[in-house]
């Protein structure tokens, strides 16, 4: 009986294993490089967002971009990081087993917790956690840690649990599998009671797939009927670890020997697809088919694999020279397809690969098999009419492969004299000929007689088309487009054989294209497109004869480095770049709408592209074939454009001010950002970086998205980066929206609130408003008060101004009256002084002196009246040192030059009486000149050059200050002393007088004695300064003393005469001098002291020193001792000491100084 059963099972297994695994799935990998804690997985689970949770030595969460690892030992030190399995859960909680302890992870808080419940197996049903342990089935409350017994049977040891619905469960035991109804508290079905059940899985048809420790595998229907598809010895499938079901209903089985697929036949019998497992070298311990249809494979050790048989429509062919039925060649180049669907693939160094319509490599055309001159094939083109394949062989021209005879023959190119012209890079059909583009020329081949010749007849055009040709193309308007290394891009009219336009290559000056062209396709109706070396894709504008570009930054291309461009079967553009393939949607003529990209990183195995790699669109199977380095891959663009199913877009992480926020360590994030719809942040945490992910894992590595921050951005921003950063957000309410570029309905949104600082909060704003209103009210009150005060002050000011004006008028009246009094008083005082000076009788002098005192007293009263008036106007001018008039000593000015001539005085005054008074006073001492006005006075001063000028300030034709300024500004008169006189003194007028250069400022009425002394002093000082600088010998350092009256002049003349007579007498002394003067020594002392201010002895020494200076200057040959003797000194040494004491230098040094000065004057 056992032998019969064994024979039956063997026959069934042979029947199941007839079909070969025809479909290929290309799996991507996920490992430690992606953040996985360990390259293995014994449990896989998907949450409601589509994130994949993996269990190994830790809990790993993969969101399509990165992996977050949760190590349970960090939260529960008593647990070891190992054997984490049996994942299950609902929308908010993930439950798992670790050492038979139930561990839960709050998905919203991303926080693990342990409910202190042990179990052998767990599952979720109707948001309730069920567990089995020992002989019982429990319902658990993970929050409280309580469990409720729902079913128990001492006959069985429960090891597995699988829910059927809310009340029925499949329970795996050590002695079979049980179907239990919790409502009736009974066992409905029992199967395989002799087997220890190790794995069970419920498919979409409610069938239970199970395996036992013995190796048995079976499927049990809902009514309890079982079909075994693997016997207890495991002859077909070795030890089974897990099951899963994909979207097509295929059951995937993970075993000790790899991955198997089982398909249910219509008769309900499972059928193993293929006789060999996939990933045979790996032990598969976990499987999951996610909601998108992706199959996730967890090996016991190795990277996790995932792929999709529906969406991964790539077919790859890898080059292997050692295997006959594999592609040969390093670089896969040009391709062609015959009418039977056979695909011919050129290679660089391995001849031609021939694939049948099933795309199986059936043979190779090489120099060995078909006597090709070289295995380097540059171009292929198939002629359907003649059933011939044209083959370009490197440096050997063109060959024809006849499919009927399976022979190769060479085309005659004997007219070519250069080997480089035999390197044909492209074969382009044109009417009844083939255009052949070689590196150094363009030729044509008649397809009937196979005769080759130059395409263009003109020799200049032939030369222009022979500069390292990159590509050629002929459009529907018979235009030949040529791109060459030396000439750039240009077009030629094939009918007239004339150049139409030259566009350059982006390097030449005046180029109209940004970069060199590598490939051209299209027509004038749908657009002519050109791939460029580093400027993306160009579209030719027929009307403007220029180009528009589509670049990587426009998200139409994977890269701006483009190799080839061609039209697909569905009229879209297929562009190969250095980063992969881009398919541009051309449903609108001449304008790409969107793009779908195939990055090389998304392919099943690492491949790369170059400029020599070919691209071909098959009109039969409508697939696109792309040659690569060491391989070839194909795809159908219609399948690629199918949208993914059941995937989510979500935010995966958030960083604020470069700090990652999690619910556990941040008070601003109440739950994980993945589940949050709003986040509130303080004003100082306003730099935000958000990372978003998608559960569309097949395209998660590359995708185009756009985002906008409502409240900040006006336009959508396109990006392929998964991190969005905003810096220094102002307080306010924002809404960040992220969506897919190709599927705008799939979006995720997060409300971001940047809270205002406390000083900008509503209470503070209200306080600011109240404060502002108060300040404004105070300012209004203040301005009104200020306005009233200003009006009051203005009225007061006007009153004061009126009073001031009245006072000024009064003051001016009093001033004018006082000045009118001053003029006659000044004249009277001057006359009285003169009378007193001339009076001979003392009694007469006394009477006249009394009259003078009364006049002076009257003048004082007038002065006091003016002072009182100014005090009332707060404009007091204090006059310190007012003289006390001495009526008893009237004076007369007596002044003469050294040669007994009088100095000249110019008097400028419009008042004739004042002029007469001054003339009478100074006539004995000066030669007087009069002038009535400023102009006359200035002209007289220039003509006469007087020794001193007296001028009135206030005159009819101008001011004496202006006259002083003119005199001091002229080079001939600037040395003349000027005394200004006024009736109306003021500080301002005095300052102006000093600024104009006036030497003295005198207020009328003045004392003649004081005025004479001032005049004498100014004249003497002026002459001293003048004589020092003009070096007059007769007045070089000696200016005679000035007398103030006739008696003093007579005294000085007599004294000087006596001194000159006794100059050489060494015995001459003061007693002898007094005797010669006819007076006593005391009287002489008093008279000399009063007139000169010096004692008689000092006067004698001063007189002799002046004569010594003249002798030293005039007679340079006279010895110093002789000079001393001439001056009455008996001791020359004593003379030298006396001279140095008075002059400051020795006689000898003084003579040297004078000689140097004279030489300088001569030079």
pLDDT of residue 555: 79
How confident is the model over 751-760, as a mean pLDDT?
A: 90
In the structure, what pLDDT confidence band is assigned to residue 268 with cuts at 50, 70 and 90? confident
Let me know whether 659 and 742 are in one domain: yes
Residue 926, in any domain of the structure: yes
Q: How crowded is residue 550: how many other Cβ atoms within 10 Å of its Cβ? A: 24
pLDDT at 910: 86
Highest mean pLDDT among 18-32, 378-392, 574-588, 984-998: 378-392
Residue 1122 lies in a domain: yes
State the DSSP string of 419-480. GGGG-EEEEEEETTEEEEEETTEEEEEETTT--EEES---HHHHHHT-S-EEEEEE-TTSEE
Kindly state whether residues 937 and 986 are assigned to the same domain: yes
User: For the chain, give me the number of helices (H) and strands (E)?
Assistant: 17, 72
Range of lowest pLDDT (128-137, 153-162, 636-645)? 636-645
Higher model confidence: residue 171 or residue 858? 171
Residue 572, in any domain of the structure: no
Among 855, 872, 889, give the residue marking a domain's end: 872
Instruction: Assign residue 1073 the CATH number of its domain.
Output: 1.10.10.60
Burial zone of 762 (CB within 10 Å; 0-12 exposed, 13-18 middle, 19+ buried): exposed
Using DSSP, state whether 418 is helix, strand or coil. Answer: coil
**3-state DSSP call for residue 1103?**
helix
Structure tokens at 499: 């150049």
pLDDT at site 178: 95
pLDDT level of residue 400 (50, 70, 90 thresholds): very high
- Confidence label for 1131 from pLDDT (cuts 50, 70 and 90): confident
User: Is residue 868 over pLDDT 70?
Assistant: no
pLDDT of 879 higher than 60: no
Q: Is residue 416 part of a domain?
A: yes
pLDDT of amino acid 12: 35
For every residue of 529-564, DSSP letters joined together read EEEESSS-EEEEETTTTEEEEE-GGGTS-S-S-EEE
Provide the pLDDT for residue 644.
57
What does pLDDT average to over the chain?
84
Regarding whether 925 and 958 lie in a shared domain, the answer is: yes
pLDDT in tens, 305-315: 988 877 666 78
Q: Which residue has the tokens 């049980």?
A: 178
Structural domain tally of the chain?
Answer: 6
Position 888 scores a pLDDT of 36
Each residue of 223-237: pLDDT tens digit?
Answer: 889 998 888 865 678
Asked which of 708, 741, 760 is the last residue of a domain, the reply is: 760
Cβ density class 245-276: b for 16+ within 10 Å, e for less: bbbeebbbbbbbbbbbbbebeeeeebbbbbee
Q: Which pLDDT tens digit goes with each residue over 136-155?
A: 999 999 989 899 999 999 99
565 touches 571 (CB < 8 A): no
643, pLDDT greater than 60: no
Please report whether residue 201 resides in a domain.
Answer: no
- 909 vs 871, residue with greater confidence: 909
Residue pLDDT, tens place only, 64-122:
888 999 999 999 998 888 889 999 999 999 999 998 999 999 998 889 999 999 999 99
Can you give the residue range of the structural domain that contains 737? Answer: 649-760
Residue 992 CA to residue 989 CA, distance in Å, equals 5
Q: What is the pLDDT of residue 602?
A: 63
Whether 1019 and 911 share a structural domain: yes
Helix axes 960-969, 987-996, angle to 10 degrees: 20
**Per-residue pLDDT at 869:** 58
Predicted local confidence at residue 595, as pLDDT: 77
Domain identity same for 485 and 506: yes
Split at pLDDT 50, 70, 90, the class of 1155 is confident
The domain that holds 962 is classified in CATH as 3.40.50.2300
Using 50, 70 and 90 to split pLDDT, how confident is the model at 871?
low
pLDDT for 1075: 83
Is the pLDDT at 844 greater than 70? The verdict is no
Residue 801 lies in a domain: yes
Residue 739, domain CATH: 2.60.40.10
Q: Are 893 and 924 in contact (CB under 8 A)?
A: yes
State yes or no: pLDDT of 11 exceeds 70: no
Q: Which two tokens stand for residue 433?
A: 């000929």
Q: For residues 683-708, give the mean pLDDT.
A: 84
Q: Are residues 750 and 776 in the same domain?
A: no
Pairing of strands 52-55, 43-46: antiparallel
Q: How far is CA 923 from its chain centroid?
A: 91
- One domain for residues 1078 and 965: no
Structure tokens given for 126: 């109707």
Which of 444-453, 663-672, 682-691 has the lowest average pLDDT? 663-672
Domain shared by 907 and 1029, yes or no? yes
CB-facing half-sphere around the CA of 134: CA atoms within 13 A: 8
Q: Count Cβ neighbours within 10 Å for each residue of 426-447 and write b for 16 or more, e otherwise.
A: bbbeeeebbbbbbbbbbbbbeb
pTM of the model: 0.60
Task: Dump pLDDT digits (tens) for 730-742.
Answer: 999 999 999 988 7
Residues near 1086 by Cβ (< 8 Å), separated by ≥ 6? none
Residues with Cβ within 8 Å of 107's Cβ and at least 6 positions away in sequence, in order, are 47, 89, 91, 92, 93, 94, 672, 674, 675
Among 1035, 1061, 1077, give the residue marking a domain's end.
Answer: 1035
**381: Cβ contacts below 8 Å, ≥ 6 apart:** 336, 389, 390, 427, 429, 434
Least confident span in 64-73, 422-431, 758-767: 758-767
Query: In terms of domains, do 931 and 981 share one?
Result: yes
Q: How far apart are CA 496 and CA 624, in angstroms?
A: 37
CA gap 95, 85 in Å, rounded: 10
Tell me, yes or no, whether 909 and 1016 share the same domain: yes
* Length in residues, the chain: 1163
> Mind giving me the DSSP string for 264-301?
E-TTS-EEEEEEEEETTTS-EEEEEE-TTS-EEEEESS
DSSP-derived letter for residue 260 is E
b/e 1095-1119 (16+ beta carbons within 10 angstroms → b): ebeebbbebbbbbbbebbbeeeeee
Neighbours of 109 (CB within 10 A): 17
Q: Give CB contacts under 8 A, 24+ apart, made by 430-437.
A: 430/474, 430/494, 434/381, 434/390, 435/472, 435/474, 435/480, 436/392, 436/398, 437/469, 437/471, 437/472
In 3D space, the residue among 845, 662, 879, 643 whose CA is nearest the CA of residue 745 turns out to be: 643
Please report the pLDDT score of residue 275 as a whole number.
64
Confidence at 263, pLDDT banded by 50, 70, 90:
confident
Question: Within a domain: residue 1149?
Answer: yes
What does the block give as tokens for 159? Answer: 């090891």
What's the rounded mean pLDDT across residues 719-740? Answer: 92
Provide, rounded to the nearest whole percent, the portion of the chain with pLDDT above 70. 88
On whether both 700 and 806 belong to a single domain, the answer is: no
Secondary structure (3-state) at 73: helix
Q: Is position 438 within any domain?
A: yes
Q: What is the mean pLDDT of residues 812-836?
A: 72
Do 742 and 766 reside in the same domain of the chain? no
Residue 376 above 60 pLDDT?
yes
**290 contacts 311 by C-beta, under 8 angstroms:** no
Of 75-89, 651-665, 708-722, 1112-1126, which range is least confident? 1112-1126
> In this model, does residue 919 exceed pLDDT 90?
no
% of residues, the chain, pLDDT over 90: 45
3-class SS shares of the chain: helix, strand, coil, % to 5: 25, 35, 40
Confidence (pLDDT) at 7: 37
φ/ψ of residue 519, rounded to 5: -155, 150
Paired residues of 567 in beta bridges: 573
Confidence of residue 884 (pLDDT cuts 50, 70, 90): very low
Would the pLDDT of 907 be above 60? yes
Least trusted range by pLDDT, from 120-129, 280-289, 827-836? 827-836
Helix axes 1046-1061, 1096-1114, angle to 10 degrees: 60
Please name every residue paired with 1079 in a beta bridge, in sequence order, or none if there are none.
none
Over 80: is that where the pLDDT of 2 sits? no
Going by DSSP bridges, is the β-strand pair 208-212/197-202 parallel, antiparallel, or unpaired? antiparallel
- For residue 889, pLDDT beyond 50: no
First to last CA, the chain: 156
**Is the model's pLDDT at 1077 over the cut of 70?**
yes
**How far is C-alpha 51 from the chain's CA centre?**
39
């Amino acid at each position: 009986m056992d032998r019969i059963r064994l024979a039956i099972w063997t026959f069934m297994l042979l029947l199941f294993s007839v079909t070969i695994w025809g479909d290929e799935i290309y799996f991507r990998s996920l490992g430690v490089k992606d953040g996985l804690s360990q390259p293995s997985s014994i449990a896989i689970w998907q949450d409601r967002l589509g994130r994949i949770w993996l269990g190994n030595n830790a809990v790993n969460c993969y969101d399509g971009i990165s992996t977050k690892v949760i190590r349970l030992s960090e939260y529960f030190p008593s647990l070891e990081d190992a054997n984490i399995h049996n994942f299950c859960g609902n929308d908010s909680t993930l439950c798992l087993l670790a050492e038979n302890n139930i561990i839960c992870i709050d998905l919203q808080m991303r926080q693990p917790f342990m409910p202190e419940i042990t179990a052998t197996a767990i599952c979720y049903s109707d948001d309730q956690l069920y567990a089995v342990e020992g002989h019982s089935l429990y319902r658990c409350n993970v929050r409280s840690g309580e469990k409720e017994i729902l079913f128990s049977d001492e006959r069985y040891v429960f090891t597995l649990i699988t829910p059927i619905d809310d009340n029925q469960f499949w329970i795996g035991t050590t002695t079979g599998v049980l179907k239990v109804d919790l409502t009736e508290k009974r066992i409905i079905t029992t199967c395989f009671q002799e087997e220890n059940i190790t794995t069970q899985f419920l498919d979409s048809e409610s069938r239970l797939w199970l395996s036992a420790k013995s190796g048995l595998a079976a499927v049990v229907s809902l009514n309890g009927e079982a079909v075994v598809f693997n016997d207890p010895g495991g002859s077909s499938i070795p030890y089974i670890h897990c099951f899963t079901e994909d979207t097509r209903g295929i059951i995937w089985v993970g075993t000790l020997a790899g991955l198997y697929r089982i398909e249910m036949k219509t008769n309900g019998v499972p059928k193993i697809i293929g006789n060999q497992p996939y990933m045979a070298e790996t032990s598969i311990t976990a499987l999951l088919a996610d909601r998108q249809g992706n199959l996730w494979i967890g090996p016991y050790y190795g990277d996790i694999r995932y792929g999709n048989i529906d969406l991964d429509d790539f077919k790859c062919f890898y080059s292997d020279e050692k295997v006959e039925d594999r592609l040969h060649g390093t670089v896969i180049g040009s391709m062609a397809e015959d009418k039977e669907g056979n695909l011919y693939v050129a290679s660089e160094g391995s001849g031609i690969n021939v694939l049948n319509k099933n795309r199986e490599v059936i043979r190779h055309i090489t120099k060995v098999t078909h006597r090709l001159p070289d295995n380097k094939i540059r171009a292929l083109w198939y002629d359907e009419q003649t059933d011939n394949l044209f083959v370009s062989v490197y440096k050997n021209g063109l060959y024809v492969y006849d499919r009927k005879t399976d022979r190769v023959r060479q085309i005659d190119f004997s007219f070519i004299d250069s080997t480089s012209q035999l390197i044909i890079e492209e074969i382009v059909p044109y009417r009844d000929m083939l255009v052949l583009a070689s590196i150094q020329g363009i030729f044509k081949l008649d397809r009937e007689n196979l005769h080759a010749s130059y395409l263009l007849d003109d020799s200049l055009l032939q030369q222009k088309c022979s500069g390292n040709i990159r590509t050629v193309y002929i459009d529907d308007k018979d235009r030949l487009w040529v791109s060459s290394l030396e000439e750039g891009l240009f077009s030629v009219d094939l009918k007239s054989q004339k150049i139409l336009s030259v566009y350059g290559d982006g390097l030449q000056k005046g180029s109209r294209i940004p970069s060199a062209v590598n490939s051209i396709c299209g027509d004038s109706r749908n657009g002519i497109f050109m791939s460029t070396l580093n400027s993306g894709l160009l579209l030719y504008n027929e009307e403007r004869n220029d180009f528009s570009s589509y670049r990587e930054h426009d998200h139409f291309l994977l890269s701006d480095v483009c190799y080839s461009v061609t039209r697909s079967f569905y009229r879209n553009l297929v562009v190969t770049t250095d980063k992969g393939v881009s398919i541009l949607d051309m449903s609108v003529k001449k304008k790409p709408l969107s793009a779908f990209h195939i990055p090389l990183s998304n392919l099943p195995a690492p491949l790369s592209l170059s400029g020599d790699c070919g691209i071909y669109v098959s009109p039969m199977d409508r697939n696109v074939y792309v040659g690569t380095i060491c391989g070839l891959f194909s795809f159908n663009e219609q399948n690629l454009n199918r949208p993914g199913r059941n995937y989510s877009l979500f935010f995966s992480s958030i960083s604020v001010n470069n700090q990652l926020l999690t619910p556990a360590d941040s008070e601003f994030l109440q739950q994980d950002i993945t589940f949050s719809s709003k986040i509130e942040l303080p004003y100082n945490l306003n730099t935000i970086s958000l990372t978003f992910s998608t559960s569309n894992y097949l395209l998660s590595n590359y995708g185009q998205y756009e985002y906008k921050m409502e409240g900040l951005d006006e336009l959508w921003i396109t990006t392929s980066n998964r991190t969005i950063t905003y810096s220094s957000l102002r307080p306010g309410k924002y809404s960040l929206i992220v969506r897919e570029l190709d599927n705008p309905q799939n979006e995720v949104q997060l409300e971001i609130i940047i809270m205002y600082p406390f000083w900008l909060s509503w209470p503070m704003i209200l306080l600011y408003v109240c404060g502002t209103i108060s300040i404004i009210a105070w300012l209004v009150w203040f301005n009104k008060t200020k306005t009233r005060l200003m009006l009051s002050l203005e009225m007061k000011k006007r009153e004061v101004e009126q009073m001031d004006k009245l006072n000024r008028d009064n003051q001016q009246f009093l001033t004018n009256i006082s000045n009118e009094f001053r003029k006659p008083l000044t004249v009277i005082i001057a006359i009285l002084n003169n009378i007193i000076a001339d009076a001979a009788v003392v009694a007469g002098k006394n009477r006249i002196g009394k009259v003078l005192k009364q006049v002076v007293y009257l003048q004082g009263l007038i002065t006091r009246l003016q002072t009182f008036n100014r005090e009332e106007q707060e404009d007091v001018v204090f006059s310190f040192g007012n003289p006390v008039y001495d009526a008893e000593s009237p004076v007369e000015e007596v002044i003469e030059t050294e040669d007994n001539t009088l100095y000249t005085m110019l008097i400028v005054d419009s008042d004739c009486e004042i002029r007469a008074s001054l003339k009478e006073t100074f006539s004995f001492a000066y030669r007087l000149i009069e002038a009535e006005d400023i102009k006359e006075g200035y002209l007289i001063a220039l003509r006469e050059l007087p020794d001193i000028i007296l001028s009135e300030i206030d005159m009819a034709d101008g001011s004496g200050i202006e006259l002083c300024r003119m005199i001091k500004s002229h080079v001939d008169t600037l040395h003349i002393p000027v005394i200004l006189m006024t009736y109306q003194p003021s500080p301002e007028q005095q300052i102006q007088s000093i600024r104009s250069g006036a030497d003295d400022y005198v207020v009328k009425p003045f004392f003649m004695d004081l005025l004479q002394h001032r005049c004498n002093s100014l004249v003497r000082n002026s002459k001293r300064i003048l004589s020092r600088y003009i070096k007059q010998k007769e007045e070089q350092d000696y200016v005679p003393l000035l007398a103030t009256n006739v008696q003093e002049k007579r005294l000085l003349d007599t004294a000087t005469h006596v001194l000159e007579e006794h100059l050489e007498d060494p015995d001459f002394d003061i007693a002898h001098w007094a005797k010669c003067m006819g007076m006593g020594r005391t009287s002489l002392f008093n008279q000399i002291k009063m007139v000169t201010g010096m004692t008689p002895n000092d006067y004698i020494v001063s007189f002799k020193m002046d004569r010594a200076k003249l002798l030293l200057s005039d007679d340079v040959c006279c010895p110093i001792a002789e000079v001393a003797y001439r001056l009455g000194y008996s001791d020359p040494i004593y003379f030298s000491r006396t001279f140095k004491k008075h002059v400051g230098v020795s006689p000898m040094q003084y003579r040297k100084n004078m000689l140097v000065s004279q030489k300088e004057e001569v030079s």
